[in-house]
Amino acid sequence: MKKNSVKKVALDMYIEQMKWSVWFIGIIMAVYIGFNIAANFFDLDFIDNLLGFSEGSSIIYMFVIGIIAGLAFLPQFIKLGVTRRHVFYGTVISAILVSISLPLIFSLFSGVEYLLSGLFGFTIEGPLFRNFTASFFLYSLNNLMGYLAGWLINVGFYKFNWKAGLLFIALAGGVIALYTLIWKDSIISLYSTDLGTLGTGLPFLLSLLKTLALILFVLITIRTLTKRISIKIK
């Protein structure tokens, strides 16, 4: 067992998943530009910037790649002599990195968009820099929860039969529902003027602690189920 197996798994998975993400980012930008052109041509209201526009789609995308990547890489790493434990930790790290990378990339493009709007005199709506720290944090957190929910479903179908897999879909749905309840409007509307409440009526720290407990529950469940999981190596 190599000392840096976790780092190797995390890096390999991050690079591969970001390759997939290039297509996602390109599609989102193309659709966003198309909507803006249509809004100007037909005189429609389209009040959003690229960062806000991408947020809902990013959650769905992370959910999908969580299903795909959750255990897709495991057989290959096992063949290379990496333990299940190291693959698990590497997967978690890569999921966190991808979750942060997407809003970072869209934030950079949104910044360029605002600069161009100043140079060429067109208007961009949406509060890009209003409480940006909270918005960026919640965007990343939403992505991570989407990924973990997809991964949980993947594990259920991989380890058990399809009937048990359906139960894991319900479990993942319950996790997302509980997460949504903790943050309430934040998944739909990231932009809050008050970092202390973020529209939930709960202190930010309390909401964060509840979310961390929920993430820990999902990770412990996945780790327990994959600890001695039979690997289907082709």
Give tens-digit pLDDT for 69-114.
Answer: 878 888 888 888 889 999 999 999 999 999 999 999 998 888 887 7
The larger pLDDT score, comparing residue 120 to residue 116, is at: 116
Percent of the chain with pLDDT over 90: 44
Structure confidence at residue 196 as a pLDDT band (50, 70, 90): very low
Structure confidence at residue 213 as a pLDDT band (50, 70, 90): very high
What pLDDT sits at residue 101?
96
Averaging pLDDT over each range in 12-21, 27-36, 63-72, which range is the top one?
12-21
The larger pLDDT score, comparing residue 22 to residue 35, is at: 22
Mean pLDDT of the chain: 82
| Contact between 198 and 206 (Cβ < 8 Å) | no
Rounded to 5°, the CA angle 223-175-104 comes to: 85
**Mean pLDDT, rounded, for 13-27:** 95
Q: Classify each residue of 44-82 as buried b or exposed e, where b means 16 or more C-beta atoms within 10 Å of its C-beta.
A: eeeebbbbbbbbeebbebbbebbbebbbebbeebeeeeb
The larger pLDDT score, comparing residue 92 to residue 129, is at: 92
Helix 84-120 × helix 5-41 angle, to 10°: 30
